[in-house]
Structure formats: C-alpha cells, structure tokens
Chains A and B, each alone.
Chain A
Amino acid sequence: MLHDLAETRRLLETQGIDVVRLIFTDLLGMTRSKDLLVSQLERSAAHGPASARARG
C-alpha cells in the first residue's frame, strides 16, 4: 500500500496535481469529501483519514 501510494504521489506530481479530493457518498447520496495534499499522501492515506461516523 505504501509503495502504491508513493508511486501514486509521483504520478500525480508529474501531472501537476497537488490536491486529491477524496470523495464518497453517504447513505442519502450526498457527496462527502476531504482534500488530501499530495505532498503528504503516503502518510495521510496509508491507513485512511478517519472521520466520525455521524457524517457518514
């Protein structure tokens, strides 16, 4: 996973991407999101950014 994320970060950086908008739907169909800085991707996405379930 860490290896994948490092590769993903390098690929995104070559495309000029500095922010990954992580999106999912809640049960009602609303789009929920969190912006991840690509420079921090291995650390922030390795185990998933945690959120309280009340927002799900």
Chain B
Amino acid sequence: MTTTRGGVLDAGTGSFGDGLPDMVANLDTDTIRPIPWLPGVAYAIADIDNPDGSRSDVAPRAVLRSVLDEYEKEGLVPVCGPELEFYFAQRTEGGWERILNKAGRVYTTGSQVDPDGHYLHLLRMLDQLNIGAFAGNHEFCPSQYEINLWHSEAMDAADRTFLFKTAIKDVTASRGILGTFLGKPWNDEGGSGFHLHFSVTDGDGVNRMHDGGGELSETALQMIAGVIDHADAIAAFTNPTVNAYKRLGPDTLAPYRSNWGYDNRSTMIRIPPERGQGTRLELRIGDGSANPYVIIAVVLAAALDGIRRGLTPPAAAEGWAYEDEERPVLPMSLKAALDALAADAGLRDLLTGDFIDVFTVMKRDEVERYEAEVDDPDTRDVTAWELEEYIEDY
C-alpha cells in the first residue's frame, strides 16, 4: 500500500506477502459524467475487484456495498446528505497560507469573498458536472467555503461526494491554487467538517426515522445508540489523520463527547428539527480528510448494529453539551482512536477484517512518523509536519 509520502508498506493480505497480486478496475457505466472544465474527457468511477471478479475486501466502494447489502436484508434503504467545508490556499515563500484573511464574512458571496472568481467558477463547474450541487457560500473562517449537495441513497451520495472532492482538487489546481478539505489546516482559524446527515427509508421510500407523532422512531433511537456505542472506534475513519483531532475539542462547534441532542450543534449527533420525510441524524465528528465511502460505510454499520442489537441511547444532552460530563470525551488523537478500533470486536464483525487491518497498518505508520519527526507530538497546535503530510492530498 502507498502512503501519502509515496512510501510503500506491507499491509498483509493481498500485499507483499501474497506477491503483489493484481486488482482490477471495472468501469461503472452508470457513473460516466463529462468533465466541464476538460472538454473531451469524462469521469467514470471504477469498482475495484479481485482478478476472479469477487469484491476486494479493502476497496472502499466495495466495503460500502457490503454494508448496504446488510441493510437490504433488513428491508431498509440508507439515505445520506454530505456537508463539507473546504479552504482555498496557496503556497508562498513562507509556506501554505489562506488566499483571504478578512474575518467576519460568514454566509456571504460576491467579490469581497471571491475576488478572483475561483469559488463562482467552481460552483458552476460542479453544477455542470451534474453531482447534485445546489448552493454555496463563504463560510465562517476567511478563505473557507461550503458548496451544498442534495441528499440521495447512500452509494449515490458517496459517489457524488467522491466526485465533489476530486473535482474541487482538480479545478483549483488548474487555476493555480489549492482546495483543501484538511480538517484543521490553521492554528488561528477553525476547521473544516464533513458532517453526515443520514436516515433510512423502507423499500417504498418512506422515512423510518419518526413515529408519525413528531418524535423519533425506535429505529432512529437504535441507530443513535449504535453510533454512540462504536463512537471511539469509528473516529479512526471519520477523523483519519493526526491533524483531525486538533479540530475537535470544547467550544469549537466540533464534537468533544460521544453524545447526542435535539438541534444541538455542540453534540456529536445532532437531530435536525425537521420531521416527516426530513427526519434524520447529523453526525458532526468527521472532517474532510475522511474517505466518503468509508465514513458512510462505518457510520451505517455502527447504526445497523444498534438496530440489530436493539440498543437504547443515553439521554439526549441539553444545553452546551461540551460540559455534559455524563458522557465520555471522544478520542483526542489518531493513536487513541486506532486503539479503540483494535478493541472494538463488534465493529470488526460488521466490516471486513482485511479492511480494518490494512487501514490500521497505514495509520499506525502515519502516527509513528509523526511522533518520530515532531518535537512535541502531544501538541494541540497544527505542525508543519501535518501541512507537509496532508494539505495537498486532502
């Protein structure tokens, strides 16, 4: 397996020990989309399979497909709405910097927050790419933007999010800047989240998250309980970098404890106020470095575990939930999250063991390199190592 620095690791099954076997990229013709900024070229998403045609245990799209198969057995259809923020940055002689620095421009558009037209061009390109983009704006922090995507069934939502991230990296690179989804690129400004809205419907598309009387359904409560039960382990996937944990903490509008609450942005799982067909959960822990297929797969797997085991969630948090001492603090480092993942046998049963093993090898290597190369690995400050390691790739 290849690291972000171009190193190659022996990740066990299907790697050096097996003689570097082939993988096969099979074109999914349903995903073909002409690329608006590259006339004559079209994107197509590939399924990564083993040479005998079976699904690869470590391919992110295949991992999600396996989780969706389990939902189908329950007669449920997961629906997801991704919500990602990102920064525009540029490399200068002093290192990576934001391209804008005027604060206080949240929920604005126009030349003051887009003097070179990068954002507006990107919005138009995403529209023409036909991935369900419908709106956008400058976000809370200078040089930070959000472009909104419609919700849809889980695999389609994951495909569109993958295309969204790929397109933003490509369009910005073609204009000489960097679009980055890194969770916490700057010490002096907030991070970029990958909030995941999700729900389930029955086979006829009827939302199963409410009881018909304005309350959450038993299914929704079990899904909350499942995600909370596996929260520490799934953090390794929702927040898969050393950097990601520096976005989390008290009073950040990113989660700090494994809790939930009604329309409460200080909790890990927020229940938006809409009911009826719009009833859903919003997981707020993830950041943009998460793989769209993986974050959706692991969150849905944990939620399904809650349904199958009939779990009951803890009481909903009220008020400023960072002070909700009834609930434990989430892992505050990638190392702690990987330890929690190793200890979570239940999550391993829900996902393929090879997938978890290979991911763990890659991420343990990342932690080891960080700890060896940074003077104070426990610092909560963003280090130059993190920018060098991640910012261009994420």
Contacts and interface: CB of A to CB of B under 8 A. Distances in A.
Interface residues of B, number: 54
Contact of A56 (B1, B3, B35, B43): B1
Contact of A50 (B3, B22, B35): B22
Contacts of B16: 54
A36 B45 CA distance: 12
Given A27-B1, A30-B4, A55-B2, A16 B39 contact: yes
Contacts of B103: none
Contacts of B372: none
Interface string A1-41: 00011001000100111111111111111110011100000
Contact of B48 (A21, A24, A54): A24
Interface stretch (B111-119, B247-255, B285-293): B285-293
A22 B44 CA distance: 5
B186 to A, nearest CB: 21
A53 B61 contact: no
Q: Is the interface of A mostly helix, strand, loop or mixed?
A: mixed
A8 B26 CA distance: 14
B24 interface: yes
A29 B240 contact: yes
Interface string A44-56: 0101111111111
Contact of A31 (B41, B51, B162): B162
B362 A54 contact: no
Interface residues of A, number: 35
A25 B63 CA distance: 12
A17 B41 contact: yes
A23 B394 CA distance: 16
A53 B290 CA distance: 21
Contact of A23 (B2, B20, B45): B45
Q: Is the interface of B mostly helix, strand, loop or mixed?
A: mixed
Interface in B12-30: 14-16, 20-27, 29
Contact of B41 (A5, A21, A28): A21
Interface stretch (B52-60, B80-88, B308-316, B340-348): B52-60
Contact of A25 (B29, B49, B162): B162
B23 A52 contact: yes
A53 B162 contact: no
Contact of B291 (A15, A23, A29, A35): A29
B8 interface: yes
B42 A48 contact: no
B106 interface: no
Given A12-B32, A48-B49, A28 B240 contact: yes
A48 B24 CA distance: 5
Contact of A53 (B21, B35, B42, B46): B21
A33 B248 CA distance: 32
B25 A54 contact: no
B203 interface: no
Contacts of A29: 60, 165, 240, 289-292, 294, 394
A5 B29 contact: yes
Given A18-B40, A29-B289, A54-B15, 19 more contacts: A21-B35, A24-B46, A25-B292, A27-B1, A27-B294, A27-B358, A28-B240, A29-B294, A29-B394, A34-B25, A35-B41, A49-B24, A50-B22, A50-B24, A53-B22, A54-B2, A55-B2, A56-B23, A56-B48
21 contacts: A5-B27, A8-B32, A18-B41, A19-B41, A20-B27, A20-B32, A20-B41, A23-B162, A24-B48, A24-B59, A25-B292, A27-B291, A27-B355, A28-B362, A28-B393, A29-B292, A34-B25, A48-B27, A54-B1, A54-B16, A54-B20
